[in-house]
Structure 1
Amino acid sequence: MQARHLDVYLLRCVVALVAEGHVTRAAERMGITQPAMSATLARLRTLFADPLLVRTEKGMVATPRARQLADRFQQALNLVDQAVADRAEFDPATATERFRISASETLGYLLMPSLIAQVRRLAPGVQLTLQPPDLARVRNELEEGSVDLLVAFIRNAPPGLRFTPLMRQPMRVIAAVGHPEVQGRLSRAQYVGYPHVFYALGGTGGSTLEAVVDEALERAGLVRTIGARVSSTLVSPGLVAQSDLLATLPERIARHFAAVWQLQVLEPPLALEDVSTSMFWHERRHHDPAHRWLRQQFEIVARTAGTA
């Protein structure tokens, strides 16, 4: 194996796996999901041609090779952490950082105005760039540095990324105030009987939001019809307000546009998974003072925009 196949993240994973002797606890320690850690362990086993952790009657036990690697990697990580700690602390008042944030239009609409106000007040020299996420490449973008932070509703975190929850919202259904049949309450028959506005990423593929709806319908043995496809959820309220279409959106967006477009905000007639928005970043930026400051500002803003 060549050292160029390793990065700091993999070194930390080896240390966590050996220290915890348990894949799930190692994942929690690293701030990633259990499937992501399992995939990393499989990769490490291939890289080192060693099982690293083996199952016994007493649980998972590190191999001699794994213990040797963990000891040496911890020494190397201590040097890395010290080098990072030696960097001057981030001073918002004089900073001129440029942060690239990948987030959907909906999240940009919810969070960016307050974030910009916060940043302008504390760090007037800092510039923020918002761009739509490319979920197929987002891990590479974070690793390469072309994106500094991803803010998104993703059920399964991309492997190798740190993440923390920002806000959780229930899903709500919007309908026009003058809807021909839906008034105040929504039945299942009405929900599948009237066509829906469908949020299609890039105008074609479905989003995680729509997957939540379709999976709930499938569990209930129901199927909906699609009346319109849009590339942004911000378009949905206007379409609903002037037709008999329905749309299912995160509550904060639904309630905001209810006042603008004269909409009803209704409980879904079946159980829908909450929208849990998180921010994701690469391990290489985890200890960076400037990046840590940015994450803290997002957490502050999210507490005012919804339930963190």
Structure 2
Amino acid sequence: MQFDLNLIRVFDAMITHRSVSGAAAALHLTQPAVSNALKRLRELTGDQLFIRTRNGMEPTRFAQGAAGNLSEGLRMIRTGLERAAPFDPQKTSRRFRLLMTDAGEVVFLPRLMPLLRETAPGIELKVMQLPVGRYLEALETDEVDLAIGNLQAQAGTLVLRPVFDETYAVLCRDGHELALAAQSGQLTLEMFLGQDHVIVRPPNSTEPLLDVLARDNKWPLRRTLDVPHFMVLSAILDRTNLVAFVPRLVARELSERGALTVLPVPFPVPSITICIGWHTRHQKDDGHRWLRHQILAAMNRLTAGLATPGF
């Protein structure tokens, strides 16, 4: 039997809708056409694939096992065809995979998504998190399309574009003693170390910078609470006297959502360079290039003077 790629579309629609009528409507086919395609799939695989139950057409174990690979294969075919055609943001349904940290999600997505919803309403983003040490590998192996973060330069098949330099800030509730000290120019390292601290330890990130500084300088840091995500800080800090040492843009974002104050760090802190990274295979991809511009526009809402060469 000659294999028909349209059968994958029917299989994927059945996995999603769990009914012949639902799959037919989604594919703009008649119900007999979908039923005939299911018959051909069953003959091809030697499996029932979908069994009628009171809850709809439930996939068999074989169908469940095949669903992920077939759906991903169908997505890749669609993406390949779309990349071959002229890119139109208003009409595209392309899916892009973005790699960034929890901090990146907090800062960039609230500014990026309104831009995309206006200019490319059909586009799909999948935001992923991986260990920082795997960022460049994920770009190399096409596991992701773009990465945003503190990426280290590497020659060869990857393109890294520095966008801006990020530093750190102290975040605490309004009226905190550190805030009052900062207002009078009297905030010191000793006062900072005398506080109870919330340490954010994203599961896929590197060791928090404050831990590194405390270890290297033998500071007596009081770690009261460890959390894996930045977003929870706003709900904790405005109800306690805890303080947090976080990237400056994260601090600014969270302060806009609650009664929090952003303070300067009372000791020298190295800055980090935030880059956008991609593989050279995407360099001349019109859709990929368009998305890079949208990300840059979102970043321009955060800080001035962003570099654009190479885009």
**Does the pair score TM above 0.5?**
yes
Instruction: Return the alpha-carbon distance in structure 1 between the equivalents of residues 301 and 179 of structure 2.
Output: 32
Give ranges in structure 1 of 5+ residues lacking alignment: 1-85
- Larger radius of gyration, structure 1 or 2? 2
Map Cα deviations across residues 191-244 of structure 1 (whole Å, 9 max, x no partner): 112232111122xx7636x22x34444565534221111111122232222222
Give ranges in structure 2 of 5+ residues lacking alignment: 1-82, 307-311
Q: What residue number does 2:197 align with?
A: 196
Map Cα deviations across residues 119-144 of structure 1 (whole Å, 9 max, x no partner): 22222222111122332433332223
Count the aligned residue pairs: 218
Q: Is contact 2:199–2:226 with CA below 8 Å preserved after alignment?
A: yes
The answer to whether residue 275 in structure 2 is matched with residue 278 in structure 1 is: yes
Instruction: Return the alpha-carbon distance in structure 2 between the equivalents of residues 158 and 136 of structure 1.
Output: 13
Q: What residue number does 2:290 align with?
A: 293
1:158: Cα distance to partner?
Answer: 6.0
Q: What residue number does 2:206 align with?
A: 207
SS of the equivalent of 2:276 reads strand
1:258 aligned to which of 239, 255, 260: 255
2:236 aligned to which of 227, 234, 239: 239
1:95 aligned to which of 92, 95, 116: 92
1:304: Cα distance to partner?
Answer: 1.1
Aligned partner of 1:200: which letter? R
1:189: Cα distance to partner?
Answer: 0.7
Aligned partner of 1:199: which letter? V
Map Cα deviations across residues 277-298 of structure 1 (whole Å, 9 max, x no partner): 2111122222222211111111
Q: Is contact 1:195–1:246 with CA below 8 Å preserved after alignment?
A: yes
Instruction: Return the alpha-carbon distance in structure 2 between the equivalents of residues 253 and 145 of structure 1.
Output: 29
1:268: Cα distance to partner?
Answer: 0.7
SS of the equivalent of 2:287 reads helix
Q: What residue number does 1:127 align with?
A: 124
User: Cα RMSD between the aligned structures?
Assistant: 2.7
Q: What's the TM-score once normalised by structure 2's chain length?
A: 0.62
Q: What's the TM-score once normalised by structure 1's chain length?
A: 0.62
Question: What fraction of aligned residue pairs are identical, expressed as a percent?
Answer: 24
Q: Is contact 1:174–1:237 with CA below 8 Å preserved after alignment?
A: no
Instruction: Return the alpha-carbon distance in structure 2 between the equivalents of residues 259 and 281 of structure 1.
Output: 31
